């Protein structure tokens, strides 16, 4: 959970509609405290890349279901990671980049789209404790009361071992691809496929 701490004096404008209103938090595994620097965000890019190399097959447990295959297309250590996603004959591109605000920005585009096109999905990742949290940049407070108040609750999570995700689709705009992947309760759940 987040505490609504004020932005640092040199932080990017909090009113930017693409970023969450909250400040990102990064759990420091050595001290058990929080790290507000962008260093941890850059380390997470490396952890995700290693995890994909270790296990590239996932299972979508909601919506249309099916196997998800991830493949690293490009990797600039600590600066960016681009993945190809194959989901039931659909090709998508997932990009992870550190933002100057300290967040990790994640976008999903169709494989054939120009990078300037609006993403099918965009979220912002941080790790205030052991689990990672996904946050929308823009949300409707009336539809997502969990994002308002003194201790907002993240509408998306990824396990500390990066082997499962759960996302509450209603926190994202209705045009987002996440809605087509959700179950009747509005959640998207995926996990690493078992290796047999």
What is residue 13's predicted lDDT score, i.e. its pLDDT? Answer: 43
Taking 90 as the threshold, does the pLDDT of residue 150 lie above it?
no
What is residue 103's predicted lDDT score, i.e. its pLDDT? Answer: 92
Q: Is residue 2 part of a domain?
A: no
Q: Is residue 120 part of a domain?
A: yes
Structure pTM?
0.84
Q: Is residue 16 part of a domain?
A: no
> What is the CA 163 to chain-centroid distance, rounded?
13
What is residue 146's predicted lDDT score, i.e. its pLDDT? Answer: 64
> What is the CA 75 to chain-centroid distance, rounded?
17
Residue 175 vs residue 49, higher pLDDT: 49
What is residue 142's predicted lDDT score, i.e. its pLDDT? Answer: 55
Spatial neighbors of 101 by CB under 8 A, at least 6 apart, are 11, 12, 19, 23, 24
Q: How many domains does the chain have?
A: 1
Q: Is the dihedral of CA 51, 181, 148, 108 positive or negative?
A: positive
Q: Which of 35, 43, 32 is nearest to 162 (CA)?
A: 43
Query: In terms of residue numbers, what domain contains 123?
Result: 26-192
Taking 80 as the threshold, does the pLDDT of residue 158 lie above it?
yes
Q: Is residue 4 part of a domain?
A: no
Q: Is residue 159 part of a domain?
A: yes
What is residue 137's predicted lDDT score, i.e. its pLDDT? Answer: 83
Stretch 119-137: mean pLDDT: 92
């Amino acid at each position: 959970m987040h505490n609504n701490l004020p932005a640092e004096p040199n932080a990017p404008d909090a009113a930017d509609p693409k970023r969450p209103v909250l400040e990102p938090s990064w759990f420091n595994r050595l001290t058990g405290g929080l790290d507000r620097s962008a260093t941890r965000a850059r380390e997470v890019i490396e952890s995700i890349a290693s995890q994909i190399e270790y296990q590239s097959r996932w299972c979508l447990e909601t919506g249309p279901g099916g196997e998800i295959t991830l493949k690293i297309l490009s990797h600039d250590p600590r600066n960016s990671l681009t993945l190809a996603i194959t989901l039931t004959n659909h090709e998508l591109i997932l990009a992870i980049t550190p933002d100057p605000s300290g967040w990790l920005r994640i976008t999903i585009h169709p494989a054939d789209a120009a990078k300037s096109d609006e993403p099918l999905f965009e979220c912002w990742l941080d790790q205030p404790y052991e689990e990672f949290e996904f946050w929308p940049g823009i949300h409707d407070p009336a539809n997502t009361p969990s994002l308002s108040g003194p201790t907002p609750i993240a509408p998306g999570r990824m396990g500390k071992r990066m082997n499962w995700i759960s996302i509450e689709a209603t926190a994202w705009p209705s045009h987002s691809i996440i809605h087509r992947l959700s179950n009747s309760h509005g959640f998207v759940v995926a996990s690493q496929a078992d290796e047999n």
